[in-house]
Amino acid sequence: MMDRIQKALTEKGKKAFVPYIMAGDGGLETLKEKLLFLQECGADAVEIGIPFSDPVADGPTIQEAGIRALSRGTTLRKVLEKVQTFKPEISIPLILMTYLNPLVAYGLEKFSEDAAESGISGCIIPDLPLEEEDFILPALEEHEISLISLVTLTTPVERIKEIGSKATGFIYAVTVTGITGARNDFSEDLAAFLSSIKSVSRVPVLAGFGVSNAEQVREVCKHCDGVIVGSKIIDLFEQGDLAEIKRLVSTSEGVSLT
């Protein structure tokens, strides 16, 4: 049975586009406005970053957005409380990107309960290894929150198979060896890498890290089920260029599912 994220990423018959924003960047009062705008633009889901003092996967753009959010007092609890106030207006899945430390500090059971009440559909936890997923998975499953798995260019084939057999929501395919941020090009092995994940995954495969323009969106989408764009979306919001965000989000509409 498809979970909510799987359904949202496949029901439109096109490649999926999932933008990333940092909660609290510009103030938590802007979160609703940004989410509703991205929903209106045609985003299939939105990844919401939770600012953290010691990120391991974030590049300079997202780190700076996190610092701006932290300086305004943004916390995981405040983000969930804010999202809950406009939950009925959101029709697409919301996915939190956070780290283990804030979740442990919050309390895993309480976090899962509050996240579900706020309408959160999934969680990405970059510093949670596959072998330790049971640390939080039962609490998430109890509240029907998908745990999104990451696969990198250096992940061994057997491990990809194991992840693919257990994955929920979608698999996050990391397209570069390193941190987030815009790239001019990708590895020549990217197409084969994405195809290898798709061949063993029971859920959609979305590519992220480094995707920053329409040409890259179209190219990457040829080899997987959609893309996640973060740093470029943050930059465009910071610049107030909403028209360009709308154009970028709509890029995947012309790439049909195969």
Q: What is the pLDDT of residue 38?
A: 98
Q: What are the chain's domains?
A: 4-252 (3.20.20.70)
Q: Among 224, 223, 226, which Cα is nearest to 253's?
A: 226
Q: Is 96 in contact with 121 (CB distance < 8 Å)?
A: no
SS3 17: strand
Model pTM score:
0.94
Q: Is 28 in contact with 82 (CB distance < 8 Å)?
A: yes
Phi-psi region of 224 (alpha: psi -120 to 50; beta: other; left: phi over 0): beta
Q: Interior CA angle at 253 toward 247 and 258, to 5°?
A: 150
Q: Would you please indicate which residues are annotated as catalytic (active-site) residues?
A: 47, 58
Cβ-based neighbours of 46, under 8 Å, separated by 6 or more: 18, 19, 20, 21, 35, 38, 39, 92, 93, 94, 95
Q: What is the pLDDT of residue 56?
A: 83
Per-residue pLDDT of the chain (258 residues; tens, 9 = 90+): 789 999 999 998 899 999 999 999 999 999 999 999 999 999 999 999 999 998 887 889 999 999 999 999 999 999 999 999 999 999 999 999 999 999 999 999 999 999 999 999 999 999 999 999 999 999 999 999 999 999 999 999 999 999 999 999 999 999 876 545 444 556 678 889 999 999 999 999 999 988 989 999 999 999 999 999 999 999 999 999 999 999 999 987 655 555
